[in-house]
Structure 1
């Protein structure tokens, strides 16, 4: 029988954060689909409507949290999948820091767009 291997050490911080972000993302995705696909149909979603939603503090904070958790969850999953496939040594370090840099750039750009959608000055 094959031995189970995972780069996640069970009950470690990474393992826990991957699961917590998954639960948060399921909830926020449900909210997103309900609001933007059932309450407001696709044809009714406009740029001005997006600006109005983003000007509400609760919605704005939720979308920023969605951006950060989705980025972490996705990048952490990709990194651990690569580690599970045997990525090690210098390559592992280079990939890790490349993913960190890409994640930071993605989150900063997403926050800039979120602020632009509110009509506030862009950072």
Structure 2
């Protein structure tokens, strides 16, 4: 039988955060899908409607947490998948830096858009 290898240390912080963010994403993605496909049908989603939803503090916080959690989960997952494939040394550090910068940029831009859409700035 092939030996199983994972860059996650079982029971470690990265391993735990990947599982917690996955569980959170399943719940929030279901909420997001329900809101934008059943409550507000895709054809009825408008800029004004999005502004109205984002101006609700609860919805706004949920969507920003969704963004941050999804960015972390994605960056962490891609990084660990590459490490599992044998990424080492300088390449590993460069990939980590690029992924962290991309993740931070994504969260910054998404948060800015959410703040504008919610008319908070």
Q: Into which bin does the TM-score normalised by the smaller protein fall?
A: over 0.9
Q: TM-score, normalised by structure 1?
A: 0.96
Higher relative contact order (CA 8 A, sep 6+): 2
Residue 102 in 1 paired to residue 102 in 2? yes
Output the CA distance in 1 between the equivalents of 2:2 and 2:32.
40
Runs of 5+ consecutive residues of structure 1 not aligned to the other structure? none
Give the alignment's Cα RMSD to 1 decimal.
0.7
Shift of 1:50: 0.3
Runs of 4+ residues over 4 Å off in structure 1: none
Structure 2: gaps spanning 5 or more residues: none
Describe the superposition over 1:22-62 as per-residue Cα deviations: whole angstroms up to 9, x where unpaired: 00000001101111101111111111000000000000000
Q: Structure 2 length normalisation: TM-score?
A: 0.97
Q: How many residues align?
A: 121
